[in-house]
Structure 1
Amino acid sequence: MEQEDPRTRILDAAEELFYGQGVQAVGMDAVRAASGMTMRRVYQHFPSKGDLVEAYLRRRDGRWRASLALYVSRAGGSPREQLLAVFDWLGEWFAEPGFRGCAFVNALGELGAASPGVVAAARHHKTEFNAYLAGLAEAAGAPPATAVHLSLLAEGAITSAAVHGDPTAAADAQEAARLLLDAAVPAR
C-alpha cells in the first residue's frame, strides 16, 4: 500500500487541529504528533507555523468551494433552485459533528492584522464565494445587488449556526433568500 504524501498528512493533521481547536491553541508539536511526522519533516514542508496556517486555509478554500459547487450542480433545477440549494448545502455543513463556523473568519479573528497571509486567504475565500453567488444570481435573473444581499444572508447563517449550534439557521436564511428573490425577480 502506498504511503500518503507527507505534506498531505501534515495538512490533514493541521486542518483537524486548527479548525477543531483554533490556530493559536495548537502548536507545531501537536501537528507533528497528529501527522506522525518528525519535527524536521514538518519544517521541511512548512518553514513556519504561519506558512502552515496559510497552506491549510488555501487548501480548505478549494475543498469548501468545490464541495459547494458540486452539491449545487447535482441539485439541478432552475438557476433559482440552484441558488437556493446553496442554503441546503450550508444546512448539511452546519449539521456536521465538527462544525465550528467559518475557518477563515475564525483564523482572522485569532490572528487578525498580525498575519497578512491569513487576511489575504480570508479575503480571497469570501471574494470567491461572493462571485459564485453572483454568478448564480445573475443566471436566476436577479440584479447584481441581490448577490450581495444573498452573501450577507449566507454569512449571517454561518455565524448564527456556529454561535448557537443550530443548523436551522440555513433554512431560515434560505427562506429570506426566497423572499429576496421573489422581490428581485418578479414572476413573468
Structure 2
Amino acid sequence: MKVSIRKKEIIKVASQLFKDKGYNAVSMRDIALALGIKAASLYNHIEGKQEILSILVLDLAKEFTNGMEKIVSSSSSPIQKIEQLIEMHIDITVTKSEALAALNNDWMHLQGNDLNSFIEMRDEYEENFRNIIKEGIANNKIKNHHPEVILFSMLSTLRTLYLWNQKRGKLEVNVLKRDMIAVLLKGII
C-alpha cells in the first residue's frame, strides 16, 4: 500500500504519542494538536486511530516475518540463525522503536482481520524461532534446556529492548549486537 507523505507524518506523530501515552489514551484530537492541524483535517488522510495502529503493527509484523523467512530458508546453522534474529531485532529496535512499542503494547486493540493477521504472523514467527532452537538442541549446539524457556528468555529480552535501550542511553549498535549475542547465547558464566 502506497502511503502519502502527509499520512506518513500522521503515523509518525501518532506512533510517538502511542508510545508515550498508550493507544487508548490518545485521541484523534491529540494527534491533530501535535501536528498543528484541526482534528477534522486528519480524516482527509486517515480513517482513524485503528488505521494508524493497523499500519504500524502490521507493517512491522511483516518486516519481522520477512526477516524470519529469509533466516529460516538460509543454510546457516541454528546458532547463526539465532545470531541473525538477535541482530534483526536490534536493528528494528534502533530504527523503529515507536512502531515496536505499538506492536508490543497495543496489538490487542487491532480489530477483525487485522487482529487475526497479526496473531497468525506472531504465532508463525514464534514457531519458527522455537524450531531453530529445537534444531540446535538436537544437533548438540544448544544446551538441552526446555525450548520454551529458551524462547521466552530470548524473546522477552528482545521485545523489551526498546524500553531498556531508550532508558539507558542507547548503546552503540555494534556493541549492542556483539554483547547481546554473547549473553543470550553463552550466558554470563
Give TM class, smaller chain.
0.5 to 0.7
Aligned to 1:103: 102
Per the alignment, residue 82 of structure 1 pairs with 81
Q: 1:176 aligns with which of 153, 169, 183?
A: 183
- Moved runs in structure 1, 4+ residues, more than 6 A? 30-34
User: Could you tell me the percent identity over the aligned residues?
Assistant: 6
Could you tell me which of 130, 142, 146 is aligned with 2:126?
130
Write the mapping of 1:1-188 to structure 2, written as runs, cut at 5 A. Answer: 5=2, 8-9=3-4, 12-22=8-18, 24=26, 27=29, 29=32, 39=42, 41-42=44-45, 46=47, 48-67=48-67, 69-70=69-70, 72=71, 77-96=76-95, 99-100=97-98, 102-107=101-106, 115=109, 117=111, 120=115, 124=119, 126-141=122-137, 143-145=146-148, 146-167=150-171, 168-179=175-186
Residue in 2 aligned with 1:186? none
In structure 2, what is the Cα distance between the partners aligned to 1:133 and 1:14? 34
- The 2-side partners of 1:161 and 1:15 are apart by 22
Partners in 2 of 1:162 and 1:126 — Cα distance? 24
| CA deviation after TM superposition for structure 1 residue 32, in Å | 9.0
Tell me the amino acid that sits aligned with residue 133 of structure 2: A
Question: Superposition RMSD on alpha carbons, in Å?
Answer: 4.3
CA contact (8 A) 2:94 2:162 kept: no
Q: What's the CA shift for 1:83?
A: 0.8
- CA 1:64–1:20 in 2, change beyond 3 Å: closer, same or farther? farther
The residue identity in structure 2 corresponding to 1:140 is G
Asked whether the equivalents of residues 60 and 103 of structure 2 are also in contact (C-alpha less than 8 Å), the reply is no
Equivalent position amino acid for 1:61 in 2: A
- How does the TM-score come out when normalised to structure 2? 0.59
Structure-1 separation of matches of 2:168 and 2:116: 26
In the comparison of the two structures, how many residue pairs are matched? 163
Q: 1:103 to 1:164 in 2, by over 3 A?
A: farther
Counterpart CA distance in 1 for 2:44 and 2:160 is 40
| Structure 1 length-normalised TM | 0.59
- On the 8 A contact 1:130/1:148 being kept in 2, the answer is no
